[in-house]
Structure 1
Amino acid sequence: MTGHACDMVIAGGGLAGGLIALAVARQHPGMTVRLVEAGPAPGGNHRWSVFSSDLTDEGHDLLLPVKQTVWDAGNEVVFPGHSRQLAAPYRSIASTDFAAALARELPQGAIQVNAPIAALDKGGVTLADGTRIDATRVIDARGALPSPHLHGGWQVFMGRHLATHAPHGLTRPIIMDASVPQLGGYRFVYVLPLGPSELFVEDTYYQDTPDLDAAQLSARIDAYCAQHGWTGREIGRETGVLPVITGGNPAAYLADARVEGVTLAGARGLFVHPLTSYTLPFAVETALAIAENAHLPASQLAQQMEARSLGHWQATGFFRLLGTMLFGAAEPAERVRIFERFYRLPEPLIERFYAGRSTLADMARVLVGKPPVPVGRALSALASDRPPLLFSNTKA
């Protein structure tokens, strides 16, 4: 069977693919774009958050159609020996609101869901049911691939959306509450007050394995909520296992992922923050870059974005170095000290860190002073590789 031909087909309707569709449709209203998602809705079941300073004015403009919860009063962090309020405004997007915005903003028929892809090539995609969608340009945004060419650790989490029985009293997000017991790795709880009687509570771990015990994490969220006197009804839940990339060979990874003439985007194209696993700022930047060059021939667009990916890898080497020391030099229960020390640094440095825009002065400031891990172990960690990231496809 043959479907309708189009100017651009985007494989994968997660954050990266959806933003590309939104950016291209906005900048090139005459182009026909198809967004093909294997699941029942674009965006899946997820929540993405970002500091306002992570995005350029153009990036904020791209996200305007999407409903966002915004905390202009800033955010806070809590550690065993240190707590702090930070002034940076914070924003969060639910995947349901992202999907609703795409449905409103994209032309009717542009989104195809429940459509797993069997194969793709530079001329289009073939769905599992045999339908063929021919396209002048193909974007592959289906998530990261398992690869022996990347190594590192894991960020594992469970998030619970809760309607509380009484107002919870929080006025700003708690980005990290690391005063909790450190169990199996660096652990913190992340809390978003989405409304006076609505909370999102996420239990997160930087750990050496991708293991996620849903029952155990759920019980720990129960205990955390009980400790703070929050009771209520669960209205949503999500889990995630994300790679934390500490090193590898990006050219070899891209060679394995590459299909001639197909543009790689999102985590599949390595457009992530290698330490925090943040994707939203980089997905926005990639979407804007693809929209700016959407009229290029397919092979030229693919080559341009691959060069951009390698440039991103080079620019984020500092964060992989820190990740190597985090996993290789610090005992799991002691990793909290690294983050506690980091959150004593000047706030503009912290903002640039999360945006992936740390300056040379920032890097020096992070590394100087009393090291949070033993020097010998740090040097040993830098001289060895972490295990390969042979993970299943994930959406960040």
Structure 2
Amino acid sequence: MYAPAMARTRDCDLLIVGAGLAGGLIALALAHHRPGLDVVLVGDDPAIGGNHVWSFFDSDLDAAGADLVAPLIAHRWQGYDVRFPSFARTLRATYHSIESERLDAAVRAALPADRIRTGRRVLTTSATAAVLDDGSRIEAAGLIDARGASDLTMLDLGWQKFVGQELVLAAPHGLERPIVMDASVPQIDGYRFVYCLPFGPDRVFVEDTYYSDGPVLDVSAIGDRIAAYAAQQGWSVASVGRVETGVLPVAMGGDFEGYWRAGGEGVAKAGVRAGLFHPTTGYSLPDAVATALLIARMPDLDGAALHDRLHAHARARWRSRGYYRMLARMLFRAGAADERYRMFDRFYRLDERLVERFYAAHSTLGDKARLLAGKPPVSVMGAIRAIAGGQVGAEARA
């Protein structure tokens, strides 16, 4: 006669799979607001957050969100510049940058060392467990999967892709504040602009960015363009430090429910895996902060409760952002690729508060009307086709 199998002992209260921005912020928020909770964080990169610079405006976060990320901020500037072929402008908004090294240090200080398992790949997940690449299994009351994108073929996408290099210069660069968008450069592979963050008198992070139809990133060619841009600014480069690459989805439409299920049936999700990113810009930091605080406030963190609450949260965000997906369709489909810059040229001539609300995905009805008012910077028929393009099929059902 066989004795009944013993139930496996739970290893932790909450298991976070994915130690990037979304997973790291969830761990930080729980350490601050729920210090008695036993949290385990697993990620395949040796460093929490990988190798990234994330930037945001003051208006992107509420007070609680600002408090959460305050220790992570490495650089802060009052105001930023934009440049286009026909005009340039300085805007007054406060701009911040976070370097991934600070996220790594903050999470390691907040969690016990044995609860952080970096450099480990997760093979499978369920609502309450994960199997790692060495065959070991971690059991939890609840699990959140924040490993990044799942099946992006479920979504109708363009791409924002970039290569960034931190340049150490032989002499001061002379920048007083960031250049968030320099579109005076030659237009290549869609809408191209250069982004510059002055990290110090002789250090500047230069990112060459493209709103492109495809995700392929030619790192070598873009590196050569960064060198040419630096030379054009009169900067003599002594060395290159941090190098960052990225390919962000820009959502024009798609099947949200199909995308959610593709990331794991019944599994709670956060970050890009949950479809939580700005549809027009691809940026995910404001959503990652808001989701981390939402989780920290939840009274019940078991697998089913987490799944239902985070699914409802992500679905509500997706449904509320149809306007931004429509703008993305206009950007990618209403005109020629090398004319895409004209939409941002027009956008940056508008009221500063409208610009801030747009980046925070909090545009008012008046903002939305203003963005579409007047003669569009693309063909009228192209704009009509782009606006109508998401009103049928999966986008309408999402």
TM-score range, shorter chain: over 0.9
Q: Does 1:20 align with 2:26?
A: yes
Q: Shift of the alpha carbon at 1:65?
A: 2.6
| Paired AA for residue 346 in structure 2 | R
Aligned to 2:201: 196
Is the 2:128–2:139 contact (alpha carbons within 8 Å) kept by the matching residues of 1? yes
Aligned to 2:101: 96
Aligned to 2:286: 281
Aligned to 1:119: 124
SS in 1 for 2:15: strand
Q: Shift of the alpha carbon at 1:10?
A: 0.3
Task: Tell me the percent identity.
Answer: 49
1:10-159 to structure 2, matched below 5 A, reads: 10-71=16-77, 73-159=78-164
Q: Deviations over 1:74-119 (max 9, x none)?
A: 1010000111000000000111121111112222322111110011
Cα distance in 2 for residues equivalent to 1:4 and 1:75:
49
Q: Shift of the alpha carbon at 1:52?
A: 1.2
Q: Which moved more, 1:195-204 or 1:121-130?
A: 121-130
C-alpha spacing 1:171/1:236, structure 2 compared with 1 (3 Å): same
Q: Deviations over 1:107-163 (max 9, x none)?
A: 232211111001111221110001111111100000011233200211110000111
Q: Deviations over 1:177-221 (max 9, x none)?
A: 000000121000000001111110000000111111111100000
Match among 261, 265, 269 for residue 259 of structure 1: 265
| Paired AA for residue 173 in structure 2 | H
Q: Does 1:185 align with 2:186?
A: no
Cα distance in 2 for residues equivalent to 1:106 and 1:367:
47
Match among 300, 303, 310 for residue 298 of structure 1: 303
| Paired AA for residue 355 in structure 1 | A
Q: Shift of the alpha carbon at 1:67?
A: 3.8
Cα distance in 1 for residues equivalent to 2:295 and 2:130:
19
C-alpha spacing 1:80/1:70, structure 2 compared with 1 (3 Å): same
Is the 1:3–1:133 contact (alpha carbons within 8 Å) kept by the matching residues of 2? no
SS in 2 for 1:21: helix
Cα distance in 1 for residues equivalent to 2:301 and 2:21:
23
Is the 1:52–1:90 contact (alpha carbons within 8 Å) kept by the matching residues of 2? yes
Cα distance in 2 for residues equivalent to 1:110 and 1:67:
24
Match among 222, 239, 263 for residue 245 of structure 2: 239
Match among 333, 337, 347 for residue 342 of structure 2: 337
Aligned to 2:5: none
Cα distance in 1 for residues equivalent to 2:261 and 2:9:
29
Aligned to 1:366: 371
Is the 1:294–1:301 contact (alpha carbons within 8 Å) kept by the matching residues of 2? no
- Tell me how large the CA RMSD over aligned residues is: 1.5
TM-score where L is the length of structure 1: 0.94
**Could you list the runs of 5+ residues in structure 2 that have no partner in the other structure?**
1-7, 391-398
Q: Does 1:353 align with 2:397?
A: no
TM-score where L is the length of structure 2: 0.93
Size of the aligned set, in residue pairs, is 383
**Could you list the runs of 5+ residues in structure 1 that have no partner in the other structure?**
386-396
Cα distance in 2 for residues equivalent to 1:258 and 1:203:
34
Match among 294, 319, 325 for residue 320 of structure 1: 325
Q: Shift of the alpha carbon at 1:4?
A: 7.1
Q: Which has the larger Rg?
A: 2
| Paired AA for residue 265 in structure 2 | V
1:200-211 to structure 2, matched below 5 A, reads: 200-211=205-216
Cα distance in 2 for residues equivalent to 1:129 and 1:10:
18
Report 1 or 2 for greater relative contact order, CA contacts < 8 Å, sequence distance ≥ 6: 1
SS in 2 for 1:99: helix
Cα distance in 2 for residues equivalent to 1:32 and 1:327:
45
Aligned to 1:5: 11
Aligned to 1:165: 170
Cα distance in 1 for residues equivalent to 2:272 and 2:258:
15
Q: Does 1:223 align with 2:228?
A: yes
Q: Shift of the alpha carbon at 1:294?
A: 5.2
